[in-house]
Amino acid sequence: MRAYRDAFRTTAQANGGCNLQNMPRNRPSPATLEMAEELSRRGLPVSCRAVEDWAARGLAPGPVRHALGRGRGTASGYPPGAADHYAAVAAVMRRGRPWQLSVLKLVSRGHLPAEHGLVRRAFEDLLSLPPAAVGQDALDYAEQIAAGAERSPVGRSFLRAFERNLRQSAQILEPGTPLRPVALGVLATLTLAAFEEPSWSEEAIVEMIAAYGVCVGDMTDDERAGLARFADAFFTQVTGRSSLLDTASQGSLPRILAAIPEARATVEEVFASSRGFPPPPEDIADVLTALAALVLVRIEEFGGADAVALLAEQALQQDHAAA
């Protein structure tokens, strides 16, 4: 997550906590003044400058000019529901916060920015990592990313949880194997899976599943092998980076928004039921919720639960064919 946050900091900071380019300033319109006053009544002290910035950048709808009648000129006003939208934007904006993070937090709260392209760009940045060095091996690069995660407090808390869970499935490891290198390997495998670099072994996938609290140590070798094949197929065919990017760039954003309640419940359930995982900070929980909604829509595009079940069945059938 720290790598994502660092990658997000690509433009200058601006008023209201969004680092998109500053906009020219004019005297606030009566509509803008009224909007700022309405937000203040809601306990959200927002400047007219911030209101204008958010509209100019596409985070919230701008005022619409309309005629007052013959000979009476025109006036501008915000569309119905705009105050609720501005209140949602105000809740996620902080000075210095990357704009992509603000947009994903907005989505996780059930709102789309007025400019929908911001959501697509935010997902694209989320699914990107700093480029690897020319000629660098994919596995070496994934291990480099994992080592970077170890230097962050959040990353270390996840690694400790991975170690506790791996200890519960110690049968899959050689006696005396240090757990921290295995936990770091799990992060490397996750990086490879996310970026469609299937440079992993069956053992690495089994270790990753164990790190998330599944008691693979109680399974037979054939059961572990089938589970690993299913995870391999799921990562490459369903949740790979290119598939998620296609959904983010071409999919229906209202569908992603509609999936937010289920996505948030899923994230909360995963952390509540997973062994040893600490509750994530709010920013990470919001980003995971937005990402989970994207994955849910991608699963719908893949064919839904029936298609995923078929994928699992095919993975298990390979055992019977081999036998």
When pLDDT is cut at 50, 70 and 90, the band that residue 193 belongs to is: confident
Tell me what pLDDT residue 99 has: 92
| Residue of higher predicted confidence among 195 and 154 | 154
Give yes or no: residues 12 and 45 share one domain. yes
Give yes or no: residues 149 and 52 share one domain. no
- In this predicted model, what pLDDT tens digit does every residue of 203-255 receive, in sequence order? 888 998 898 888 888 899 888 999 999 988 898 888 888 889 999 999 999 99
The amino acid occupying position 140 is: D
Give yes or no: residues 154 and 282 share one domain. yes
Could you tell me the pTM of the whole model?
0.78
pLDDT beyond 70 at 14: no
pLDDT beyond 50 at 11: no
When pLDDT is cut at 50, 70 and 90, the band that residue 282 belongs to is: very high
Domain boundary among 78, 97, 126: 126
Domain boundary among 74, 92, 126: 126
Which of 71-80, 101-110, 128-137, 212-221 has maximum average pLDDT? 101-110
Give yes or no: residues 217 and 309 share one domain. yes
What's the DSSP call for residue 215? -
When pLDDT is cut at 50, 70 and 90, the band that residue 196 belongs to is: low
What's the whole-number mean pLDDT along residues 27-35? Answer: 89
Using left for φ > 0, alpha for ψ between -120 and 50, and beta otherwise, residue 69 falls in left
| Residue of higher predicted confidence among 64 and 26 | 64
DSSP string over 146-182: HHHHHTSHHHHHHHHHHHHHHHHTGGGS-TT--HHHH
Chain mean pLDDT for the chain? 83
What's the whole-number mean pLDDT along residues 10-16? Answer: 38
Give yes or no: residues 11 and 112 share one domain. yes
Cα atoms in the Cβ-side hemisphere of radius 13 Å centred on 106: 33
pLDDT beyond 70 at 26: no
Give yes or no: residues 97 and 170 share one domain. no
How far is it, in rounded angstroms, from Cα 51 to Cα 18? 12
Domain that holds residue 260: 134-323
Give yes or no: residues 121 and 232 share one domain. no
Give yes or no: residues 142 and 122 share one domain. no
Q: Which residue intervals of 178-303 are DSSP H helices? A: 179-194, 202-211, 221-237, 241-250, 253-258, 260-273, 282-302
Give yes or no: residues 79 and 13 share one domain. yes
Give yes or no: residues 47 and 65 share one domain. yes
Tell me what pLDDT residue 77 has: 83
Domain boundary among 73, 92, 126: 126
Number of domains, the chain? 2
Q: Which residues, including other chains, have CB under 8 Å from residue 240's CB and lie 6 or more apart?
A: 193, 194, 195, 196
Give yes or no: residues 193 and 307 share one domain. yes
Tell me what pLDDT residue 135 has: 61
How far is it, in rounded angstroms, from Cα 132 to Cα 138? 8
pLDDT beyond 90 at 153: no
Give yes or no: residues 65 and 198 share one domain. no
